[in-house]
Structure 1
């Protein structure tokens, strides 16, 4: 099984390309949770994610014959960039299979790093099937995104940095897709801080590891559906399963809505951009997905910052809705002059800012002499939302809050 010495050996290979990323104390999240929170900012890594570490460690250990034949891999985007850059640095040809709907920013970045990108399949698992076909047809070496001990050891160098930079470490919180990152980090952390906890986090609709641990054997999901595309994996690795079962204390899940809130907080309060997968560790802490003590030293790993701008817009909007900063309501008015003015007057008195108003006189759900109105509002928080809704209902409006 993966050992501390494997991770320490990997550091010498990895540090030629990867940065030592900051570990920063957060007043904001310490105040919010009562814990002593330090953020591991791996979103500042080269290529925007931790994946360069494992890719570099794997490719530098290839034989000359394997380097000459080239490599191939499958990835939702971050591993793709890591392999492309590491291969280019080593003078190795790389082919990268990515899902057809991979974020365009990750596709373009992979190409810029020198990878030959092939788009195939609806998700990581279908892309992986195609990559294995190329592996066999062209005699290339397949660089697995997580189920490879060299890759796991490379990712584990993050654990070395956390252990060294945070001597009071009590809990580290780590995102899980296929399990390579947490396998490496848990190996390093448990060796250097034996009493520290390692908590894994998955998205609710991509929880293959949580399901596998609960059932005692590796489970494969029929599909995955989450804004955290970097951890959207249907099946964990065989090697990672063994390490996680032995060295990870607990695996929890978070919803997409909770991920969106964490991502929004990081943008607004920490001025830090992460992708969905990069926000899950903080989401688990903010939404009390695991128990911890007052003042406990906790390190959430922010594992990546490669988010598509279209996705970011959607996620931030959802985050604003979940935190009571944006409200969409529907109500019914009499279809006569002055009806809308009265509604808007109440909204103005409560100091909510109108973003958009939509009328619909054609709905079959309303009377012929009525109109349905939807209003989008910028709000100041949950209490402000409750205050406005109470005022509208007190004035006789039947108000529905829209998702």
Structure 2
């Protein structure tokens, strides 16, 4: 965590405010909702006031639209002619496809074969050329190959100033919508969302504790922070494919290292039961990654957040109907097994 009075590592508040103004009327200022319903309150920390930012209502269904649009905005004329390339299990691919289409820029996205078909179809509907590869590791290699051979500009899913800055606009919105938060809980893939939100929150409300949440089977940022440097996972194993980055990278790592207070891990079952909770209480069709923050608040952070004012980010909703139904059934079976 950055010592009080030091210059911020990451986007400065004035940069975040300028980016917010640049995105105005092109993205959605997503609402916040108090989780005060009796249908959900029993699962939350005792005496806590919990507020959720519904970023899953964002353009193309996730926070990624912010950084993708800022990235396309900064392209030079020659770069716009060459086009862009991105790698993603879905949300970032959709966001880049959408942002590039808005500006008439050619897009190629590399996705693992396991990507949700609704995400692949969504990219194609936006005019992007989709390249399917074996896994996420291969996808990054293919993105680099396309960049080299076709001259396209690579828009990384989480690493870089524009992706962190885009996420920071979400963080600034949230802390202004809910200014008295004691803690904020954010899902983590590679660290772009967390680094951006944390950098904004710490400049506006430095006493607010920032928690990052990773799947047990994809905890690359937590491992990196423990090691004091970016690291790589040999294997990723989680149902939350949007949080399945195998690598931590220097810029997002350094911003997170300076601004994040603590990392926590949740397992797949905790995300599944939180998906059920969000569906039953709010009728939100959340993907597993979207339920990660709720899983942390209702699980490993539950006792520690008792009596506090807590914010959590619902980050995305790009999930096929049948997969959503299957995961809800699986989550309900976990609930039933716990009660028996």
**TM-score band, normalised by shorter chain:** over 0.9
CA distance in 1, matches of 2:130, 2:331: 32
**Quick check: which one's strand share is greater?**
1
Distance in 1 (CA, whole Å) between partners of 2:254 and 2:190 is 12
Structure 1 residue 289 displacement after superposition: 3.2
Q: 2:29 aligns with which of 20, 26, 29?
A: 20
- Report the Cα offset of residue 290 of structure 1: 6.3
Aligned residue in 1 for 2:142: 130
Counterpart for residue 3 of structure 2: none
Which residue of the partner structure matches residue 4 of structure 2? none
* Among candidates 2, 7, 12, match of residue 10 of structure 2: 2
Give the whole-Å Cα distance in 1 for the aligned partners of 2:107 and 2:198: 30
Is the Cα–Cα contact under 8 Å of residues 185 and 213 in structure 2 kept in the other structure? yes
In structure 2, what is the Cα distance between the partners aligned to 1:223 and 1:73? 21
Aligned partner of residue 27 in structure 1, secondary structure: coil
What TM-score results when the alignment is normalised by the length of structure 2? 0.93
Which residue does the alignment assign to 1:65? 78
Name the SS for the 1:323 alignment partner. helix
Match of 1:105 among 106, 109, 118: 118
Residue by residue over 1:40-73, the C-alpha shift from the partner in whole angstroms, topping out at 9 and shown as x without a partner, is 1111111011111110011101111111111111
Distance 2:166 2:327 in 1: 30
* Structure 1 counterpart of 2:68, from 55, 72, 75: 55
Contact in 1 for aligned 2:264/2:300 (Cα 8 Å): no
Whole-Å Cα distance in 2 between the matches of residues 232 and 308 of structure 1? 18
Aligned mates of 1:78, 1:16 — CA distance in 2: 21
Higher Cα radius of gyration: 1
Task: Name the CA shift for 1:293/1:229 in 2 (closer, same or farther; >3 Å).
Answer: closer
Range that drifts further, 303-312 or 126-135: 303-312
Segments of 5+ residues of structure 1 without an aligned counterpart are 328-380, 386-403
Please state whether the residue corresponding to 1:160 is helix, strand or coil: helix
Residue aligning to 2:280: 268
1:174 counterpart = 2:186: yes
CA RMSD of aligned residues (A): 1.4
Q: Is the 8 A contact 1:202 1:253 kept in 2?
A: yes
Summarize deviations over 1:14-44 as a string: whole Å, max 9, x none: 2242101111001144443221000111111
- Secondary structure (helix, strand or coil) at the match of 1:321 reads helix
1:230 — aligned with what?
242
Question: 3-state DSSP class of the match of 2:165?
Answer: helix
Greater relative contact order, per chain length (Cα 8 Å cut-off, separation 6+): 2
Give the match for residue 207 of structure 2: 195
SS in 2 for 1:156: helix
Contact persistence 2:269–2:334 (CA under 8 A): yes
Q: TM-score, normalised by structure 1?
A: 0.79
Deviation at 1:321, TM superposition (A): 1.7
